Copies of this chain bind each other. A is one copy, B any other.
Amino acid sequence: MSYNQKNKSITADLKTELFLTPMKIRIPESADPRVVIIGGGFGGLNLAKKLRHKPIQVVLIDKHNYHTFQPLLYQVATGGLEPDSIGTAYRNIFEKSSNIFFRMAETREIDPEHKKVYTSIGTIHYDFLVIATGAKTNFFGMEEVEQNAMAMKSLPQALDLRSLFVQNLEKAVNLEYGDEQESLMDIVVVGGGPTGVETAGALAELKRHVFPDEFGELDFKIMDIHLVEAGPRLLGTMSEKASEKTKKYLEELGVRVSVNTGLISYDGKVALFNNGLQIPTESLIWTAGVKGNPVYGIPPELMVKGNRIKVDEFLRVPGLDDVFAIGDVAAMHRMGQWEAQPMVAPAAIQHGQYLAETLLRIRKNKPIGMFRYVDKGSMATIGRNKAVVDLGRLRFQGVFAWFVWMFVHLMYLVGFRNRLVVFVNWAWNYFSYDKGLQLIIHPFMKTPKNKAPLAKESLA
């Protein structure tokens, strides 16, 4: 089903629903213009933060009541951090900010003509609208893979992964040595970007330092962690040097790295690749693609490939009055084609901060400047004392890079409490070699029902 077909069917259902609950979202009237922000990821959150205590009324809408620090989701999945340490409740961030109004709601559709947003808790009028709905996992139409692979874009998904890893080992412990046991222990990570690299590295460390002590009855020599990348090298957006070192570090940790190897199918039992490689496994983590996660109600001619929304140099959606798009969901025209900004936190943060400045200038009838992206470099961690950093022409790897990686992530984390708790956990993990967060609080159950939340996520 294409984006437009989906769009139409939802719209029809929606009319009925809204007729039944024609409620308004209850926000105090204000003399200040109202900015409605859909989505509180890095872009939306930083926009709202910059508008605190300013003469603009901000309404932030998100389907979760917390901001997720996505770069560390893999540490939740692999038992290094508690989920609460990388999530921050919006109301906690904006306490005492009297011009910021948070509403937990799913956005159904926008109506740019009447300047309205329809949500699960009612409709709301805006003066300015900012679409900051981010990206979601892209399975490129491979439905079987989507049904059977695990994704890692949200806290519930990361917790599902954490449960799955341990559930599979608990099953393996009760089996004789053999293929079935091995396929419960083997893990395949598809996608050699930062998330894939970091996940594979963390799993390799669990296999080396944690699991053998806890599952003494299992022989972890038979457990394989695979990292499979369709392109010619890992971390394709970083320097060649970073790619090389990353591959070397991962192989030192025992990860089996394959490049130029694309996934063709995965039925929940066997992963099949385009070079003939076959890996029987009960756990396949898909980190090999994302696409924009737009809202319904945007005219099709404003959408470009990868489900993204066209924006101009001011992050405005061309042709729609007072509508902006920022972060992973936006695509800018550059060198003859529409392309997303680098899909990293600093780009979204810069979007948010730029747009706050711009809205304040519009409010004061001042001229506005174009958005300029400043490359803050990129980095990835592979394991303890092992990371790679590219900062412009400065490129370094190893222990120092690892400390830089940790420092930068601590600084970007939202909220002092989270920084404190993450720091304590990292120190503990480092000195004890123990990542003990393996509680199966909500067991993962592989049923079609379990996939329902994924579908819902298309509505930010």
Residues of A within 8 A of B (CB): 23, 25-26, 28, 64-66, 82-85, 87-89, 91-92, 95-96, 98, 101, 103-104, 121-122, 155-156, 159, 166, 170, 173-176, 213-217, 415, 417, 420-421, 424-425, 428, 432, 434, 436-442
Q: A87 to nearest B CB, angstroms?
A: 5
The 8 residue pairs across chains A and B that have the minimum distance between CB atoms? A91-B214, A95-B213, A66-B439, A82-B82, A82-B84, A92-B436, A87-B439, A89-B438
Question: Among the listed B166, B214, B439, which residue makes an inter-chain contact with A83, where contact means beta carbons less than 8 Å apart?
Answer: B439
Is B96 a contact of A213 with CB atoms below 8 Å?
Answer: yes
Which residues of B sit under 8 angstroms from A101, Cβ to Cβ?
Answer: 217
| A65-B170, A159-B441 known; A214+B95 contact, CB < 8 A | yes
| B439/A84 in contact, CB under 8 A | yes
Q: How far is the CB of A365 from chain B (nearest CB, A)?
A: 30
Give Cα A153–Cα B66 distance, bound, in whole angstroms.
26
User: Can you spell out 19 A-B residue pairs with CB atoms less than 8 angstroms apart?
Assistant: A23-B174, A26-B173, A26-B174, A28-B217, A82-B82, A82-B421, A83-B439, A83-B441, A84-B437, A89-B214, A92-B214, A96-B216, A103-B170, A104-B170, A104-B440, A156-B441, A156-B442, A415-B436, A417-B432
Q: How far apart are the CA atoms of A174 and B105 in the complex, in Å?
A: 11
Chain B residues positioned under 8 Å from A122 (CB to CB): 174
A163 to chain B, nearest CB (A): 9
Q: How far is the CB of A140 from chain B (nearest CB, A)?
A: 29
Most B-side CB within 10 Å, residue of A26, A156, A417: A417
**A420 touches which of B26, B91, B175, B424 (Cβ 8 Å):** B424
Task: Report the bound CA distance from A121 to B441 in whole Å.
Answer: 19
A68 (CB) vs chain B CBs: closest residue: B439
What are the residues of chain B within 8 A of A216 when measuring CB–CB?
A: 95-96, 98
B residues less than 8 Å from A84 (CB atoms): 82, 437, 439
The CB with the most chain B CB atoms within 10 A, among A65, A84, A88, is that of: A84
CB distance from A459 to the nearest CB of B (A): 15
**CA distance in complex: A131, B341 (Å):** 60
Known: A436-B92, A438-B89. A25 touches B174 (CB 8 A): yes
User: Are B213 and A438 closer than 8 Å at their CB atoms?
Assistant: no
Counting chain B CB atoms within 10 Å of each CB, the highest count among A176, A432, A438 belongs to A438
Are A26 and B175 in contact (CB-based, < 8 A)?
yes
Complex interface: chain B residues within 8 A of A213 (CB) = 95-96
Knowing A174-B103, A417-B434, the reply to whether A64 touches B440 (Cβ < 8 A) is yes
Q: Say yes or no: A65 contacts B166, CB within 8 Å.
A: yes
Q: From residue A394, how far is it (CB to closest CB) to chain B in Å?
A: 35
* Chain B residue contacts of A82, Cβ below 8 A: 82-85, 421
Give the distance to chain B from A171, nearest Cβ to Cβ, in Å: 8
Q: Are B214 and A65 in contact, with the CB atoms below 8 A?
A: no
Closest residue on chain B to residue A212 by CB atoms: B95
Q: How far is the CA of A398 from the CA of B191 in the complex (A)?
A: 57
Given A176-B26, A415-B436, A428-B420, are A91 and B215 also a contact pair (CB < 8 Å)?
yes
Most chain-B CB neighbours within 10 Å: which of A28, A104, A121, A424?
A104
Q: Bound complex: CA of A103 vs CA of B176, how far in Å? A: 15
Q: Which residues of B contact A64 (CB under 8 A)?
A: 439-440
Given contacts A82-B85, A85-B82, A214-B92, contact A121 B174 (CB under 8 A): yes
What chain B residues lie within 8 Å of A25 (beta carbons)? Answer: 174
> In chain B, what residue has the closest Cβ to A96?
B213
- Given the complex of chains A and B, what is the CA–CA distance between A65 and B167 in angstroms? 9
